[in-house]
Structure 1
Amino acid sequence: MGINTVLKLVCVILMVEIIHQSSARPSIRADNCGYQTCPLEKEGFINVHLVAHTHDDAGWLKTVDQYYYGARSQIQEAGVQYIIDSVVDELKDHPDRRFIYVEMAFFSRWWEEQNESTKSIVRELVNQGRLEFINGGWCMNDEATAYYVDIIDQMSLGLITLNDTFGECGRPRIAWQIDPFGHSREQANLFAEMGYDGLFFGRLDHEDKRERTTKKTMEMIWKASNSPVNQSSLFTAVNYNLYQPPPGFCFDIYCNDEPIIDDPKSKDYNVEQRVTDFLNYCEEQANAYATDSILLTMGSDFHYQDANVWFKNMDKLIKYANARQTEGSRFNLFYSTPSCYTKALNDHAVTWPTKTDDFFPYGSDSHAYWTGYFTSRPASKYMIRQASNLLQSCKQMDATLARQGATKAGDLFTMKDAMGIMQHHDAVTGTEKQHVAEDYALLLHKGVEECRKIQTSYYEKELVLGNTPLPKVSYCQLNISQCEPSETNNQFVINVYNSMALEVDRYIRVPVASGTNFRVLDTLGNTMPSQSIPIAESVKALPGRVSTATRELVFLARQLPPLGSKSYFVQPEPSGEDETIEPENKSSISNEKVSVEIDDVTGLIKSVTVNGKTTPLKQEFLWYASKSGDNSEADKRASGAYIFRPEGNDPLAMPSSGVRTTTYSGDLVQEIHQVYNPWVSQTIRVYKGQEHVELDWVVGPIPVEDGIGKEIISRISTDMVSKETFYTDANGRQTLERVLDVRESYPYTVTEPVAANYYPVNSHIFVKDSIGNQMTVLVDRPQGGSSLHDGELELMVHRRCLYDDAFGVGEALNEMAYGTGLVVRGTHFLILGDETNSMKLTRSLSHELYKQPQISFIPSTLSYQEWSALYKTEYQSISRTLPNNVNLLTLETLAGGKYLIRLEHIYDVGEDPILSQTVTVSLEGLFPGFTITSAEETMLGGNQFKKDSNRLIWNAASPERKAGHQMGEVRIPAVLLKPMEIRSFILTLVRII
């Protein structure tokens, strides 16, 4: 061989090695974190962004603690602390590698256990973009059954924690919702308002995915709100393979796929074939996307416990795949993150398709519609909703105490942590194992106990006039009509706290002892109208109820102050006689606005009259038989925790020998007690002065001795012509139109006529006709609902399934409590009227259902005069009410003596001619005795000042405006709110001397 030939060969070898190194170590933009640290793509190549990640459920098959510590490995081998340990070790010595992490509930726990040396290493990894936080919430929340308040809270908890720990370099830019079972328009809107540049998810309907991969529309601009606020559009991408690695290329210790063997001397040498297979998959995926950039998820559930296994094999994939570029390969592989991938797509300046609806319901195949979890574990869903309301009150009280410089008992973080975890997509959904559900309930109970301590501190500080300590404050389980202080004392004080920034009237019901007639005194000592009414037999028989009370005392708490409390004094009437009303033989109840007529034969509602207009209707309980099956094929799918699959398309009549009814009439409330059978009953109720009908139902234990699972619905039928169209809320905020058997984004094949038309209902569902009539039902917890026939609404209230649906939980949804099947009590509000008035009532009543007053009790032997001389009977912590269309969404303390406040416009565009208009709210003088010395507007998560937000701008097909965030004028303390807008501020308050 000649010298020239040798030199040429050496040059070729050197060139190949340079290519290997440059592709294995892509150029890094240094100096700044964020997009500045992203690797550079190669022009003319298909750039493959490899995203190393782990998906760590905050509870599912194991509890949060068991997942973190790696306990109960016989259930699932998973230890999150070891994952983070291992990843940090692998990243610190390999500057080319990158990793993303999501769940702050786990990371924050890990962080607190580290020494300063490790923390310093992690900070450097974050600053360099090698360890990147994605999503950043306390958990990866569900999008169907999570209430918008709780989504904001759990995201803020994680984001503010990241901001306090890592500053700007720890701020997530991308939402990463890879596992929730369907995706909400409101969730996307909230992410946009938090300043995210993009959203990635894994699950969408199988037919939708087929359509999108064919048309290369897996990435889009999601117009997530009708609000005129110019920040609601969000770049959205669907992962090609859920969140799993390409088939055959799972390199975790849990996987069985072949590693990359690159020693030519080994008989198992497989580099060429493995690289070819991998690039063939990349080619397949690239054909489904619109640009020459693709993202591959390299990880899965609880992967990277031994991160070296993953990284070592990916290093080889990158090296040998990129070496083929000299042979004409079009592929360029490198470590990346969803943020860097998003920035790369933004740089392509493509015009993207748009989407305006949502991604519900999700069907993973033709017979697996994930709509059962909209209702699964209804008692847990109710507990979460009630705890959410308690947390908002608790934060307000905590902020009031902080302004006063008062010492307080109770750890607010315990409740925030519990509520954050409860939003996880296997917590609020009810799709966890039973022992995990019990652990969730324990976490939440501990949070409630800490909140109660803060409430008690609030009352002890704010109600005491002199030096006489406040007697012991007690709290009760009023949802089961059980209250030891009110049942065993003839004299007691009821404290009623209103967390709304409006002056409101609320009916209060407390169980009391029989044999005594009680008088209620208001804050001035005047006797108030009150009424004693029997407790329904089904409520008295609730399993776990420890009470001898047979009646409840009812009164109207008028003009409850905004963010304040009133104390009502309850004492025996001098006569001492029991004036509980007796049952009447009548078939109607009414007040001055509403009347309800019962059919004498069936015992069911036959009509409701509101303001003189009568609507014939029938409300009844029915049930679907749960489909059984071994799940071996699509058409053998069983109904389970995730899946709703009824046996037949028509619900079955409730077993009953006739609905028995008992009527009670009084000056404040009138009720009809219905009994279908030993396990289904309902109280129909109308209060004086109100325009809606309250339906208080008790369902369970659902009988399954016949071997058939049952899914119970409440159905209301009218003669309205609704043209197969109905409307449901999105996470309690926006309202979306639904059309029977129609999907906006893709042609839908009807295979499950019932389950595939179910949608999540967090707040309201309604139908309306062409002449403006509307029927609305409000719920007190997440439920699945639909309108399968014109003029009809149905809501699933309870379910008990005997088969697992084979999507991982491994247990049938067969809940037990107190030795029997679970019994659930709940409430629906029925609204009838014209469209405009109905929406006004819907918005106000939905907040009433959520923000019910916090009630506490203090037994006392003092007279009213003695009590009022020692203690305040009324207190409010803000100086005035806010406008009727504005909600004080958040008021809480932050580090450094600052406060986070959020104001929300609760009406959407066009819902009301007046209340949907833009409104101005002044913060000036809102907090008595304090002045605002600074008010800086933040993004919704409270972790970034709005003036610093600079979201990516996208080109959308047929845009109304550019997708992205453009700063408008910030006017403080006069805050302008547009429909459905939420604005957040960090306040500094100084006491006025």
Structure 2
Amino acid sequence: MKENLHIIKKKIQQLEDDIRLNELTVQEIREKIHHGLFSGKKTPSLSSLQQIRNGSIGNAQGFYSDDGTISNRETCEFSGLLKSKHSVDVQMLDVYESLKFDNPDGGVWKQGWNISYEESEEKSLPTLKVFVVPHSHCDPGWLKTYVQYYEEQVRGILSKALSFLDDHADMKFIYAEMSFFHPWFMSLSSVEKEKLEIVTGGWVMADEAASHYFALIDQLIEGHQFLENYLGYKPVSHWSIDPFGQSATMPVLIQLSGFRSMSIHRVHYAIKKHLARNRQLEFYWRPLWRNDQSADIFCHMFPFYSYDIPHTCGPDPRVCCQFDFPRMTGIFAACPWGINPVSITAKNVAERSRLLLDQFRKQSKLFQTRSLLVPLGDDFRFGHSSEWTLHYTNYKALFEYMNSQKDFNVKAQFGTLDDYFASVAEELQQKQNIKFPVLSGDFFTYADRDDDYWSGYFTSRPFHKALDRVLEKYLRGAEILFSAVVALSQMDSTNADHPPPSVMTLFMQLTEARRNLGIFQHHDGITGTSKTFVMVDYAAKLAAAVADCQKVIAISIPQLFSSNPPHDANIQDPELDFAEEVKETPAVQDVIISVGRTPRTVIVYNSLPYERTEVVCIKMETGGVMVTDEVGQKLSVQLSPVVKKENSVFRISSKLYEDITDVISGHRHHVKLEFVAYASEKGDSGAYLFLHGEYGKMIRSQKQVLLVDGPLFATVYSCFQQVMHAFRVIKEEEFFARAFHVTNVVDITSETVDYELAMRLKTDVKSASADRSFYTDINGLMMIRRKHFDKLQMQANVYPMVTAAFLQSDRFRFTVLSAQSSAVASPASGMLDVFLDRRSMNDDSRGLAQSLQDNVPFSSSFRLLLEDMQPSGIPTVSSALNIPRSSLLSRPFPCDYHLVNLRSLEESQTQLPSKRSALILHRLPVDCDSVVRSPVGCSAAPELSLKTDLSFGQIVGVEETTLTLMHSKKNCSSDLRLKPMELRTFKVTWN
């Protein structure tokens, strides 16, 4: 240990020597950061981009009525969604319909065309303003672990940025990932806002396919709260250059957080070409459910293949690579096109400037304005002092020459992302003929070339994806309970200024859990696209975070509900079970309850703000037990065996279920479940790519079936070679019981060929139209219409599914609800393929440099729901809801109000909980086509009254903020009313 500390200290000293920090004290460094790079102009001037639109959208009417209720059937959220009629110029599903998706050779721009221009015309146009934006994209885990990257590369990048920007007034830099910036800053403790811009400012640059919106918001808040508490900084621009496809959720969250603009990169090359042809690479991105411009956000899309330097100055990478100057010294690989950079001298500056300007001009022809964004960077760039010097001195010479030549009609400079967007806003204000299109939809599924679709990562490393959702559940539950503990502790005058040790310890554990969840949202984390040892490191972080959350829950509950809560010294580690949710893995262990003469107490915690009915399963050592509620009333119980695949108690049978009858409506449906395997084409699939060859081939069962029946539920277990499948029917008349529970324990570790395993659901719910439409969720926030296109390969028709997918006819809807992120396709009408696991013997040549053979057995869970598309009454009275219980609410929330989180906030620069909590609410949309009565236990009132509804703590202030708390909006009363699909954050102050 001492030796490790010595090594660390030595590295720190070396870094300090490199950047001459040895002459400064730590406090001086903090002051330099805080008052230097982050002190300049005030909040950037981009407000004009949304405000200057001068009515170009028209006066499209929104779908909300004045009282916040849905105005009529035509404007119901799901009706509007399914009809897909929006006041937009570009609807992505329509674009997919229209494109041929051919891939002709475009010349030097392989995926585009030969761009040309008249030089005489260039001289007559307004000056071309070029913003060369230095950046370094730092992955918090990929080929190395997060800690390895920080220690070996990122700390040096940030330290050298501090030094170089301080010494060079006209140099600039942008940076995104707070998961690295935070420990670097804290290790020093504070470069001009005009010099260094923090873009996005989230904990990571998050994946947008597999992440749930809860986790996306949480990692944004973690980054933004750090920036506010320690730097007083508020990012204004979003930077998403490496996630493998762009979700329609992210622009919603970013706009609600107070951002004014965003930039994206990884979009299908054919889509980029189409938008570039129409000069639509910059657009206002509109939510799917909106018909007005109030929720739009301005978006810039990179036009070319990559975000690296050879693909950002213009269409010809052979030319652009010649301006990646560190390549000429051997710091990085030589240019693969055979022509390497040369230093800029007085003899060659004219020729070199003309060569680079030609690329700038050609790229500018793809955009409507005379402002041009040219990123200058790549993964983990600017880690060498010489790299900073080479780029700065050579580009400065080029800029000075270009800008001095009147015939060039250009002003080139180093800039930040905000500098660029501010220039666009200025042009928009001055020119009335610029009209950016309005776009809706998302950008899945991504392909970077040919038929190489990045749909494999939707499923890769499914155990980790399942563990991610387990952590989200525990973290949310722990956050709510801990906020209640903090609120109550504020009412105790002895704790008001000095929280008890247990509260401080729990807050530190919560903070660590938040950050571990945040790191895993990284686009090489939850995607399952990192090296095996890195994925092991991620899993360890997730499991540790679950344990921390369990302890917070176990300690918080007696603090809230016990008249004599235990002292800190008497608190033991809890025994909470989450093994059942991920199944048969070495990372987790079953917790089995033993009961002797003394009764054992089991606390069931419902973190939803309204009552619900659930079957709760507890593993016992013996079956001879009686279960009572808190007042001694006997509860209905069912004893069932714990079934494992190796059990020999199966009886012979030849088929799974094929017909399901809804006993409430009387309708009988054909639903057949099969397991199919896709083979890879030429063995080219990998962690990222799914390149299918053979169409999904059915896997035969081993003809082993076990029926476990009882008073509460019946379960059918079916055994296959790679899957133990369980199908459970709940014997209740509650609405929740209409969903069939499906669990698949998957083990494909014995496969020796490329293998994609999917659960196929064949139904009689055929698409109402001939276009084979189906629907998937986007990050759990909204649903989107998809189509299966025969003109595209199977892998192009696979989409991410975070929580749900459904098929729909004129009369019925068949929904799959998923407990973990995965992939889904609809290869035929009435059919859904839900992908479970995948195994690849090869690397897919996207940088990971390893195969995908580290599968572990795991459990995936689903619920299948059949619904009528006509209004139907559902019985709502249940004896289970008459059980008395302790509650943090004086009355349930309305059924369509979802409590996203109640998150305790940090006291500025203390790492201690404050008197404030962030209350995040989401009002769910209403589906006009499938109407059921609200379950008992939900409030019918369309509004909340926090002071009366929350039965813990005393509220003294409610302030509405932007989604991630960056900006204050208004003080408000405790009575809150949300419109459908609204997602809002309130800062609650406790007495």
Aligned residue number for residue 216 of structure 1: 279
Counterpart of 1:727 in structure 2 is 775
Report Cα offsets for 1:66-114 as digits up to 9, x if no partner: 00001xxxxxxxx000000101111012121111110000000100111
How far apart, in 1, do the equivalents of 2:927 and 2:867 lie? 20
Alignment of structure 1 residues 852-931 onto 2, 5 Å: 874-894=885-905, 895=907, 896-907=914-925, 910=928, 919-928=942-951, 930-931=953-954
Change (3 A) 1:36 1:601: closer
Say whether the 8 Å CA contact 1:30–1:37 is kept in structure 2: no
1:33 and 1:918, CA in 2 relative to 1: closer, same or farther beyond 3 A? farther
**Deviation at 1:496?**
1.0
Could you tell me which residue of structure 1 aligns to residue 690 of structure 2? 644
Deviations 1:487-531 (A, max 9, x none): 5767422111111111222211011224x3211011101111100
- How big is the shift at 1:610? 4.8
1:206-260 alpha-carbon deviations (Å, 9 max, x no partner): 1111112222111111112414786421111111343222431223432536555
CA distance 1:496–1:231, change in 2 (3 Å): farther
Q: Does 1:404 align with 2:488?
A: yes
Please, which moves more after superposition, 29-38 or 142-151?
Answer: 29-38
Q: 1: CA distance between counterparts of 2:168 and 2:817?
A: 55
Specify the alignment match of 2:977 in structure 1: 976
**How far does residue 839 in structure 1 lie from its aligned partner after superposition?**
14
Q: Relative to 1, partners in 2 of residues 1:679 and 1:925: Cα closer, same or farther, differing over 3 Å?
A: closer
Aligned-partner Cα distance in 1 for 2:536–2:168: 42
Indicate conservation of the 8 Å contact 2:238/2:262, yes or no: yes
Q: CA offsets, 1:758-790, max 9 Å, x none?
A: 111111101111x23111111111110011111
Aligned to 1:24: none
1:712-765 CA-partner distances (Å, limit 9, x unpaired): 1111112333130000111001110112218xxxxxxx341x110111111110
CA–CA distance in structure 1, aligned partners of residues 45 and 278 of structure 2: 32
Structure 2: which amino acid aligns with 1:879?
A: S
Distance 1:837 1:383 in 2: 37
Deviation at 1:279, TM superposition (A): 1.3
1:556 maps to what in 2? none
Q: Distance in 2 between matches of 1:911 and 1:304?
A: 55
Distance 2:890 2:792 in 1: 57
- Aligned residue for 1:143, secondary structure, equals coil
Shift of 1:614: 0.3
Find the residue that maps to 2:161 and give its secondary structure: helix
Letter of the structure 2 residue corresponding to residue 701 of structure 1:
I
Out of 131, 135, 139, the position equivalent to 2:196 is: 131
Whether the 8 Å CA contact 1:52–1:299 is kept in 2: the answer is yes
Alpha-carbon distance between aligned partners in 1 of 2:651 and 2:723, rounded to the nearest angstrom:
24
Q: Distance in 1 between matches of 2:565 and 2:463?
A: 42
Q: Distance in 1 between matches of 2:527 and 2:458?
A: 7
Q: Show the 5 A alignment for 1:378-527.
A: 378-405=462-489, 407-408=502-503, 409-410=505-506, 411-466=509-564, 472=572, 473-476=574-577, 477-479=579-581, 480=583, 483-487=590-594, 491-514=599-622, 516-527=623-634
Q: What is the deviation of 1:458?
A: 1.0
What displacement does 1:201 show?
Answer: 1.0
Structure 1 residues 318 and 154: CA distance shift in structure 2, 3 A: same
The one-letter code of the counterpart of 1:250 is D
Given candidates 620, 627, 631, the residue that maps to 2:674 is 620
Matched, 1:987 2:981: no
Instruction: Verify the 8 A CA contact 2:874 2:932 in the aligned structure 1.
Output: no
Partner of 1:339: 418
Work out whether 1:292 is the aligned partner of 2:353. Answer: no
The answer to whether the 8 A contact 1:918-1:976 is kept is: no
- List per-residue Cα deviations over 1:906-931 (Å, max 9, x = no partner): 22575767999993222232333643
| Secondary structure of the structure 2 residue equivalent to 1:798 | strand
> How far is 1:874 from its partner?
4.5
Kept in 2: contact 1:624–1:652 (CA 8 A): yes
C-alpha distance in 2, partners of 1:682/1:244?
A: 48
SS at match of 2:705: strand
TM superposition score normalised by structure 1: 0.77
1:955 alignment counterpart: none
Matched, 1:609 2:662: yes
Query: Partners in 2 of 1:97 and 1:433 — Cα distance?
Result: 35
Structure 2 counterpart of 1:243: 307
Q: Which residue of 2 aligns with 1:14?
A: none
Count of matched residue positions in the alignment of Structure 1 and Structure 2: 807
Amino acid at match of 2:524: D
**1:830 match:** 864
1:802 aligns to 2:837 (yes or no): no
Match of 1:34 in 2: 43
TM-score, length of structure 2 as denominator length: 0.77
Task: Say which structure is richer in strand.
Answer: 1
Q: Would you say 1:158 and 2:223 are equivalent positions? A: yes
- Contact 2:717-2:724 within 8 A present in 1 as well: no
- 1:701 offset after TM fit, Å? 3.0
Seen in structure 2, the aligned counterparts of structure 1 residues 467 and 642 have a Cα distance that, compared at 3 Å, is closer
Counterpart of 2:487 in structure 1: which amino acid?
A: R
Which secondary structure does the structure 2 equivalent of 1:825 belong to? strand
Among 807, 810, 814, the alignment partner of 1:767 is 807
Q: Which amino acid aligns with 1:197?
A: R
Q: Is the 8 A contact 1:478 1:510 kept in 2?
A: no
Please give the alpha-carbon distance, in whole angstroms, between the structure 2 residues aligned to 1:356 and 1:907: 18
How far apart are the structure 1 equivalents of 2:745 and 2:828?
25
How much does 1:879 deviate?
2.4
Which of 169, 178, 191 aligns to 2:241? It is 178
Partner residue in 2 for 1:234: 297
8 Å Cα contact 2:814-2:866 kept in structure 1: yes
Which residue in 1 is equivalent to 2:104?
Answer: none
**CA shift for structure 1 position 687:** 4.1
Q: Which position in structure 2 is the counterpart of 1:934?
A: 957
1:698-737 pair list within 5 angstroms: 698-705=745-752, 708-722=753-767, 723=770, 724-737=772-785
Cα deviation, 1:527-574, whole Å, max 9, x if unaligned, reads 111000122222x77xxxxxxxx9xxxxxxxxxxxxxxxxxxxxxxxx
2:255–2:297 CA contact under 8 A, matched in 1: yes
Give the aligned residue type for 2:747: G
Task: Tell me the secondary structure at the aligned position of residue 984 of structure 1.
Answer: strand
Cα displacement string for residues 770-823 of structure 1 (whole angstroms, at most 9, x for unaligned residues): x2311111111111001111111110011111111111111111124xxxxx21
Cα distance in 2 between the residues matched to 1:195 and 1:839 = 42
| Matched-pair contact (CA < 8 Å) for 1:105–1:421 | yes
Residues 729 and 530 of structure 1: CA distance in aligned 2, closer, same or farther (over 3 Å): same
Q: Is contact 2:916-2:990 (8 Å) kept?
A: yes
Q: Specify whether residues 319 and 946 from structure 1 end up closer, same or farther in structure 2 by C-alpha distance, changes over 3 A only.
A: farther
Give yes or no for contact 2:207–2:521 (8 Å, CA) kept in 1.
Answer: yes
Query: Deviations 1:591-611 (Å, cap 9, x if unpaired)?
Result: xxxxxxxxx743343444352
Q: For 1:279, what is the secondary structure of its paired residue?
A: helix
Report the CA distance shift for 1:374/1:165 in structure 2 as closer, same or farther (over 3 A): same
Q: Distance in 2 between matches of 1:826 and 1:217?
A: 41
Shift of 1:971: 4.9
C-alpha offsets along residues 319-371 of structure 1, whole Å, 9 cap, x if unaligned? 43442443500221111111221122122222111211110110112221011
- The question of whether the paired residues in 1 share the 8 Å contact of 2:203 and 2:222 is answered with yes
SS of residue matched to 2:789: coil
| Mapped pair 1:56 → 2:56 | no
Closer, same or farther in 2 for the Cα pair 1:468/1:807, shift >3 Å? closer
1:685 CA displacement: 3.5
Match of 2:379 in 1: 301
State the alpha-carbon separation in 2 of the partners of residues 889 and 288 from structure 1: 41
- Is the aligned partner of 1:738 residue 2:786? yes
Deviations 1:663-722 (A, max 9, x none): 2221101111111236443334434331111111111134324xx211111111123331
SS class of match (2:948): coil
Indicate which of 529, 537, 562 corresponds to 2:636.
529
Residue aligned with 1:521, SS: coil
1:306 deviates by 2.0
Query: Taking structure 1 as reference, are residues 217 and 610 closer, same or farther at Cα in structure 2, changes over 3 Å only?
Result: farther
Q: How does 1:942-961 map to 2 (within 5 A)?
A: 942-947=965-970
Partners of 2:297 and 2:455 lie apart in 1 by 25
Unaligned runs of 5+ in 2: 1-36, 48-122, 314-319, 429-433, 490-499, 877-882, 908-913, 935-939
